[in-house]
Structure 1
């Protein structure tokens, strides 16, 4: 397999990159229609604005509410893009995703279940409805590298695995950011005029909170991870880090509530220093901050009795747990 060309952030001419990609998208789609899914993350946000600059009303943008997002995510994302003049239609697909995840515990099988539900069941219908022939998505080079290397299957990588999206799903996929790493995508976001809060936003995985629940991603377990994530993100809002997250472990651990022994849940906190996610080291946080977030999580979420902090670099750890 030929190695993917990389455009390094330090060498890129942002204005030329944007102009070239706008032209490429216009030439590919022509007078046809394209669709894309906006999650609110950096990659999907940048590709959404890039696509709308190229296609205008010929790009239909959807937010797929899969039931596994963070607190208030759909409303926040829609409001942000409305301010930029980009309409976003929310599709409630939570029942379909939880049905696909039922009984699935293996990390790769979970990712595959989400991939198939997203691209076949949900987007297949939207493609027919919109009469689109192209899906615009924010795949970046790190997604490809990790998938091809077998580190973990990214939900948005196909051609590099020998999968033809046209045959598998009925539409072609355009990936204008695939030569970039995260730092390059952020530069493009700035060049497109996105708010800093969007292009500097912390990375969030395609499988959403399902990637932060070890074991089966049941609705009640996703809810626990969502609550812990909200507390952690509020507590860590002033931390200068590449990414941080709360992970719900599968095993129960011994704890105490009201002077009685209980078996409760365990949340693992991860916080990373990195440039492009290929390598990372745990952020050296103050013990006071770690103790504070542990107290808030265990006080607010009765089901959780233990909070831990990951201190292993990538490699051997990965940034996400699942």
Structure 2
């Protein structure tokens, strides 16, 4: 297995792990399981839990859709490209960008990305031969926000909706479906995953595509990637960090003055929240000196951004992500 998974100690999450391991063994038997690995908390913990239940039966496919944060695709391959784990990495960034050309509606973006992910995933899965089971890192908040029959649909989630019929799988393995984010992190820690994985900030499946308001272009992606990296770099210097923080490239353009010349660039929004379970959140009160430094760096170092604003909306009424 990828990580040295140690014996867990007492508590309800240990009981959950033990029960889930038995459930997976009973469901899967000697069959292989295929998992789409993003490197985020949910898919990583999902992989660790399944690997503990059925060693050497898990195959992971990492689809780089081109909407990841700076250096993230390289980091995923570096961390998970271990000889003990079969990892298949696919660069499909051009394919996804072409599909999203001219699309501005956030729900359409999510659905297109979800559908295209299935197509790319299926293309790779077919090369592997017959694998009966598909695994997903679906967690409880995904189900709630997508509508579970009891709650109104808030937004679509790319990994919620049942078994993809076109892919030919006969079983779906979702070991985290009953857990919220804080519980997923606890399970990951109990399974021996490092803090660099378990404490990683949530990152949506559609990635930066839903952190760009309006249409998506390579230029905008590069712009947001760099600005987000600067933002996270400065926040990481603080002793007390927000639970989640990221940049959003709005579709609004404003006049600015950079290097003595008039410019007309995009407005970048900074989002930072404090939360326990990610179902409710307050905006994080970041020191003004830090915000000033971030704004100064971004407007000086990232071409095309002329103004930086800070989002002070809680959840509810807003969701954490803008789209």
TM-score, structure 2 as length reference: 0.90
Q: Which has the higher helix share?
A: 1
1:21 is matched with which residue?
Answer: 20
1:298 is matched with which residue?
Answer: 299
**1:252-310 CA deviation, whole Å, 9 max, x = no partner?**
11111233322101110000000111111110111000001001111110211100000
Paired residues for 1:1-322 under 5 Å: 13-82=12-81, 85-119=84-118, 121-130=119-128, 131-148=130-147, 149-159=152-162, 165-171=163-169, 172-237=171-236, 238=238, 239-322=240-323
1:168 deviates by 4.4
1:86 deviates by 3.0
Tell which deviates more after alignment, 185-194 or 171-180. Answer: 171-180
Tell which deviates more after alignment, 166-175 or 80-89. Answer: 80-89
- Contact 1:74/1:90 (CA < 8 Å) preserved in 2? no
Cα distance, 1:314–1:204 mapped onto 2, change above 3 Å: same
- Contact 1:41/1:201 (CA < 8 Å) preserved in 2? yes
Size of the aligned set, in residue pairs, is 306
TM-score, structure 1 as length reference: 0.90
**1:159-188 CA deviation, whole Å, 9 max, x = no partner?**
4xxxxx253432232111010000100110
Distance 1:166 1:63 in 2: 18
1:314 deviates by 1.0
Cα distance, 1:297–1:105 mapped onto 2, change above 3 Å: same
1:4 is matched with which residue?
Answer: none
Per the alignment, in what secondary structure is the counterpart of residue 141 of structure 2? helix
Structure 2: gaps (5+ residues):
1-9
Distance 1:34 1:254 in 2: 53
2:7 is matched with which residue?
Answer: none
- Contact 1:127/1:133 (CA < 8 Å) preserved in 2? no
1:24 deviates by 1.6
